[in-house]
Amino acid sequence: MIKLAKSLNAWGTPGFNNTLKKEIESLDAKYLPLQQGLSYSSHATNSDFNIMIISTREDDSFLHVKAGVLYSGVIAGCSCADDPTSVPEQSEYCEILIDIVKTTAEARITLLAK
């Protein structure tokens, strides 16, 4: 399970969005639903991704954050040895929901419907 303790500690401060952005961007891409969020390509790359905080709210148990993710994907080809075409990266965007448990800092990240 992912823990976002720095973000939980920053909740209610002017630095929350920046702290959460940095903490999410420091995660391995495998913790985000990037493959499921593809629109223009067939495989999410392991390259850097950027987070944009769209909205935040809280209830008794959770912090709820809606965020946009800018990342890259590729269209996988035949991978033939004599295939002269390169595999250019395509820009991708998806929106995610980050639910942070207020008592433990454990976080669940889910893809929002396209």
Q: 33, exposed or middle or buried, with CB in 10 Å at 0-12, 13-18, 19+?
A: middle
Question: 47 pLDDT band (50/70/90 cuts)?
Answer: confident
- For 104, the token pair is 């433990």
Residue range 99-111: average pLDDT?
97
Question: Which of 79, 89, 94, 88 is CA-nearest to residue 35?
Answer: 94
Return the pLDDT at 86. 64
* Number of domains present in the structure of the chain: 1
- Per-chain mean pLDDT for the chain: 91
Lowest mean pLDDT among 9-18, 37-46, 62-71, 84-93: 84-93
- Domain containing 17 equals 2-111
